Amino acid sequence: MNSIATLLALSCIFLLGSSRLLMSIRMVAFQGLLLGILPLAAAGDSHLSLALIFLSLASIALKSILLPWLLNKAMVDSGTRREIEPFISFGASMLLGLFLLAVSGWIVDKLQATEPVPSPVTLIAGFYLVFSGLLLLITRRKALTQTLGFLVLENGVFTAGLSLGSEFSVMVELGILLDVFVGIFLMGIMLFHIDREFDHLDADRFNELSDLEIAASPDEEVTE
Amino acid sequence: MQQFVTAILVITVGGLLAWLTGRLKSLSVVIGTGSCVGGGLLALIPATEILMSGGQAAEIVLNLPLGAATMKLDAVSAFFSLPVIVLGSLAAVYAAATSHYDKHECGGYWFFYCLLMASMLFLTASANAVLFLMAWEIMSVAAFFLIIHRDEIASARNAAWRFLVASHVGTAGLFIMFAIISAHCGSFEFACFTRTPVSAETASLVFFLALFGFGVKVGLLPLHVWMPDSYAFADAHVSAVLSGAMSKMGFYGLIRVLMFLPVHSASWGWALAFGGLLTGVFALITALAQHDLKKVIAYSSMENAGIIMMGLGCAILAGIWKVPALAFAALTGSLLHVLNHAACKGLLFLGSGAAYFGTGTRKLEAMGGLAKTMPYTAMFFGIGAAAISGLPPFNSFISEFMIFLAGLQAARLGTSSALLLAGVILAGLGLIGGLAMATFSRTFGLVFLGASRSDKKVEPRESDWLVRLPMAILVLVIFLLALLSPFILIPVARVASMIAAASGVTFTPENAMLNIQPVMIAATISFFFMLFVVLVWRLRSRFFSGGDVNDRCTWDCGFAAPDARIQYTSSSFSQPVSEVFSSIVRPYRHGEKVAGFFPERASFRTDAPDSLLRYLYVPLFGLIDRAMVPLRALQHGRLHLYICYLAIVLLALLIWKVVAA
């Protein structure tokens, strides 16, 4: 279980440092696969149930096959291949990511002082996934990467929930899965329409429609 | 109670259906009107039952997700639901009758109208702070959408926006107020509020927050600025409901809060009495300088709110001084005035709407002579105008008379503070009455008498019978309220004693008789006076109708070639009074001075936007605006940074929590 959590954290660092969208999508798909295995690992051999296996399979099917395929299609349709000029450079965001990893470790350490956590490494990974998902949302320009950030954030919530070892109900987890699916599906459709209307997927330029007058400095303008 | 809830549901569902059928205009109108009238009738039965029997309040407990909430219909709720029911249904009929003037799509309009009416009924029946605030919010938002209906007019948008801001600022006060009381008793139920005593300081804080929050709706002096514009730009029937019913919800709330607080403080009474006095006087002197028919009526509704507040203030002081007879007169008078004002104001707004549809303008300067072409509207408006000025033999006279009686009784108490109160009430009501007379004689004269000032050659036509029907019913209500006032006073007195009992004041039958007897006399005299007028009218039409009936210019004044332009204008009529109060109203004067022996051109026009708006709110909000400019840097419209704010706050909270643990 700890090794899966470590892999999750490493995939996040990779995501923060990668500029190619295709690789990012694949990495998120890989995360989905890891997340699918995680509940099985958490339950151990003794508690394996049919529902758990179903949940695991559904999670893998959704997060590592269906959603990546959808995002891939959106990427191909919009013709966007790379994340160019993020607000924080890839190297810096990787460093920031490591710092956030340290922060997550510190938080979990503090938490453990008050209440024992069954699986601290997984909880660290969960926090770290949430933080790096937020970091992706904040620092990337392309709406597609932001969708990925959102997915990573959701994965983090899932992982943190698992690590707390609470009696998680399959129904609740399935509900969350459905939620994520609908969310990403809608985002995919929206990305398609946004791309058609705006001719780009730069989330920082979506406020062209806003009636707020914004003095955007010319050096912030980005070209594909 | 079930019936009342059913009525609310009927109106809401009717509104939804009217919205869905918005494309088929006539169907939507029929559904909207039908549900308002049907729901109104359905709600009227339990309301009158409870008022007449004086009896048992009905309760229903809703099991909401966040705990149970009580809905309760007691005498006070039933009393305040009356204006909503009557005006809501009548104005719906009026709206249906005038809907062919409206080019807009009407589905949403009917939806919000029904929502407004349903939320007001819901408000009166809710006995839980959360339900109350929910109903209050729905009411405000529905009213906002009704006001902004003519959103192609920039001023209408401004007016609606101002209304929304004002009502939310007020609601913020209400939220704090309810939070304070519920924190004291640990529940949101009204029944719990009345049981839990609070300290004197907390009680004062609660009262003044309530006065602020509800004062916005009733139009208490510095909080009234949304009122004139909103009433002017809303459609006539909407203004009738807003002014006749919605602003009364403010009084309902205030009275409820007074019932939560068993021990009153004298400062509240003085605040209400002086606030009411200033509101009334300020409203009328500003009304005198207005040129928009509906703005005049809007300011007058503020004036009546002032009268009601003076009565309430007097009742609070009398309760503290332990003079039940005085409290009885003041409280019953102001409650009765709530009904009377609702009837008169409804009639006046509907009449102004008819005049608007006839002439196509609301400007007093462009009206005139409508009495000849729209005789029924003129008669109805005239009765409404006379009634709202507090003239006998009409209904407002009776209620103002009761507040006068309270003033006279206060004068007989002899203590210096009682004398001050008597002075405020007697002098205040006298001044307000006189100014109201001036305002409404000016309004009626400019709109209906004389000759038309308009350049248009289109002859205004009298409105349909269906437009006149709601007005005729309201006239009937006015007469009934005047002639049957001694009988109507019995249930009203029951409501008043229920309110007073909450603060430990009990009325004896002698208190009631002492005050009802003069009312009986006034009602009898009113009856004979009306009889006399009708008789004289019959005699006149019988014996003198065959005389000289040539149509002449009204303002002849000995000119060889009289012309509509030599009539009094709205500026010139009010100029003598406005001049006296010009330091408060501060009208803008436009025009050219008369110069030389044979002046060729001269003109004079005054224009009086609300002086509090100009001298208090515009500078104040300008100041706030400038102070907030640096914060605009945070509100830049960049999605990434917004998410960044969220992330930082979340992280900070998490770390804080972890470190604190």
**What total of structural domains would you count in chain A?**
1
| Beta bridge partner(s), residue A202 | A142
Q: Write the pLDDT tens digit of every residue in B6-15.
A: 999 999 999 9
Question: Where do we find the tokens 């009345």?
Answer: B194
Query: Is residue A203 pLDDT above 80, yes or no?
Result: no
> B53, B43, B36, B169: which is closest to B495 by C-alpha?
B53
Of residues B343 and A196, the one with the higher pLDDT is B343
Domain range spanning residue B347?
265-540+566-580
Contact B272, B264 (CB under 8 A): no
Domain range spanning residue A193?
2-220
Closest Cα in chain B to A111:
B658
Cβ within 8 Å, pair A139-B636 = no
Average predicted confidence (pLDDT) for chain B? 89
The segment with the largest mean pLDDT, out of B21-25, B395-399, B552-556, is: B395-399
Nearest to B643 among A113, A137, A207 (CB): A137
Q: Write the pLDDT tens digit of every residue in B431-443.
A: 999 999 999 999 9
Cβ within 8 Å, pair A212-B658 = no
Of residues A53 and B303, the one with the higher pLDDT is B303
Cβ within 8 Å, pair A138-B647 = yes
Nearest to A87 among B640, B647, B651 (CB): B640
Residue B660 covered by a domain? no
Query: Is residue A217 pLDDT above 50, yes or no?
Result: no
Query: Chain A interface, mutation test: which of B640, B642, B646, B655, most A Cβ atoms within 10 Å?
Result: B640
Query: Is residue B543 pLDDT above 90, yes or no?
Result: no
pLDDT for the residue numbered A149 = 87
Q: How far apart are CA B395 and CA B476, in angstroms?
A: 11
Contact B46, B1 (CB under 8 A): yes
Cβ within 8 Å, pair B640-A131 = no
Q: What is the mean pLDDT of residues B179-197?
A: 87
Q: What is the dihedral of CA B394, B397, B402, B406, to 10 degrees?
A: 180
For residue A60, how many C-alpha atoms fall within 13 Å in the half-sphere facing its CB? 12
Query: Is residue A147 pLDDT above 60, yes or no?
Result: yes
Question: What residues contact A62, with CB distance under 8 A and at least 6 apart?
Answer: A32, A177, A180, A181
Query: Chain B interface, mutation test: which of A83, A138, A152, A208, most B Cβ atoms within 10 Å?
Result: A138
Q: Are residues B522 and B610 in the same domain?
A: no
Q: Are residues B309 and B444 in the same domain?
A: yes
Q: Are residues B496 and B389 in the same domain?
A: yes
Q: What is the mean pLDDT of residues A186-213?
A: 67
Q: Are residues B613 and B570 in the same domain?
A: no
CA distance B171 to chain A (A): 28
pLDDT for the residue numbered B313 = 95
SS (H, E, C) B284-341: HHHHHCCCEHHHHHHHHHHHHHHHHHHHHHHHHHHHHHCCHHHHHHHHHHHHHHHHHH
CA distance A57 to chain B (A): 32
Q: Are residues B508 and B616 in the same domain?
A: no
pLDDT for the residue numbered B150 = 85
Q: Are residues B520 and B616 in the same domain?
A: no
Contact B10, B44 (CB under 8 A): no
pLDDT range class, residue B551, cuts 50, 70, 90: low
Query: Is residue B555 pLDDT above 70, yes or no?
Result: no
pLDDT for the residue numbered B100 = 83
**Before B262, cis peptide (omega within 30)?**
no
pLDDT range class, residue A224, cuts 50, 70, 90: very low
Q: How far apart are CA B64 and CA B134, in angstroms?
A: 13
Contact A205, A85 (CB under 8 A): no
CA distance A138 to chain B (A): 5
Residue B237 covered by a domain? no
Residue B207 covered by a domain? no
Q: How far apart are CA B440 and CA B290, in angstroms?
A: 12
Q: Write the pLDDT tens digit of every residue in B103-158.
A: 777 888 999 999 999 999 999 999 999 999 999 999 999 999 999 988 888 989 99
H or E stretch covering B64: strand B58-64
Closest Cα in chain A to B634:
A214
Question: Where do we find the tokens 């006065």?
Answer: B211
Residue B460 covered by a domain? yes
Q: Are residues B621 and B498 in the same domain?
A: no
Cβ within 8 Å, pair A110-B654 = no
Over pLDDT 90: what percentage of chain B?
A: 54
Q: What is the mean pLDDT of residues B263-289?
A: 93
pLDDT for the residue numbered B136 = 96
pLDDT for the residue numbered A206 = 67
Cβ within 8 Å, pair A107-B654 = yes
Query: Chain A interface, mutation test: which of B629, B631, B636, most A Cβ atoms within 10 Å?
Result: B636
Q: What is the mean pLDDT of residues B646-660?
A: 86
pLDDT for the residue numbered A139 = 85
Q: What is the reported pTM?
A: 0.80
Q: Write the pLDDT tens digit of every residue in B335-353.
A: 999 999 999 999 999 999 9
Of residues A218 and B224, the one with the higher pLDDT is B224
Closest Cα in chain B to A115:
B661
CA distance A169 to chain B (A): 22
Cβ within 8 Å, pair B655-A138 = no
Q: What is the mean pLDDT of residues B641-660?
A: 85
pLDDT range class, residue B557, cuts 50, 70, 90: low
Query: Is residue A215 pLDDT above 50, yes or no?
Result: no
DSSP string, B474-503: HHHHHHHHHHTHHHHHHHHHHHHHHHHHHT
Q: How far apart are CA B319 and CA B266, in angstroms?
A: 9
**Backbone dihedral region of B97: left (phi > 0), alpha (psi from -120 to 50 degrees) or beta?**
alpha
Nearest to B658 among A107, A141, A210 (CB): A107
CA distance A32 to chain B (A): 23
pLDDT for the residue numbered B18 = 92
pLDDT range class, residue B524, cuts 50, 70, 90: very high
Q: Write the pLDDT tens digit of every residue in A28-75.
A: 999 989 988 888 877 766 667 787 788 888 888 888 888 888 888 888
Q: Are residues B620 and B573 in the same domain?
A: no
Q: Write the pLDDT tens digit of every residue in B473-487.
A: 999 999 999 999 889
Over pLDDT 70: what percentage of chain B?
A: 97
Residue B328 covered by a domain? yes
- Encoded tokens for B544: 């003198």
Question: What residues contact A108, with CB distance under 8 A and at least 6 apart?
Answer: A117, A120, A123, A124, A127
| C-alpha B189, offset from chain centre | 28
Closest Cα in chain A to B633:
A214
Query: Is residue A211 pLDDT above 60, yes or no?
Result: no
pLDDT for the residue numbered A220 = 43
Residue B100 covered by a domain? no
Residue B299 covered by a domain? yes
Q: Write the pLDDT tens digit of every residue in A168-188.
A: 566 677 777 777 777 777 777
Query: Is residue B428 pLDDT above 70, yes or no?
Result: yes
pLDDT for the residue numbered B121 = 95
Q: What is the mean pLDDT of residues B393-415?
A: 91
Q: Write the pLDDT tens digit of every residue in A77-131.
A: 877 777 767 788 888 889 999 999 999 999 888 888 877 877 888 889 999 999 9
| Beta bridge partner(s), residue B189 | B128
**What total of structural domains would you count in chain B?**
2
Q: How far apart are CA B295 and CA B292, in angstroms?
A: 5
pLDDT for the residue numbered B370 = 86
Query: Is residue B456 pLDDT above 90, yes or no?
Result: no
Q: Are residues B606 and B505 in the same domain?
A: no
pLDDT for the residue numbered A207 = 64
Residue B179 covered by a domain? no
Nearest to B639 among A113, A135, A203 (CB): A203
Nearest to A204 among B638, B658, B659 (CB): B638
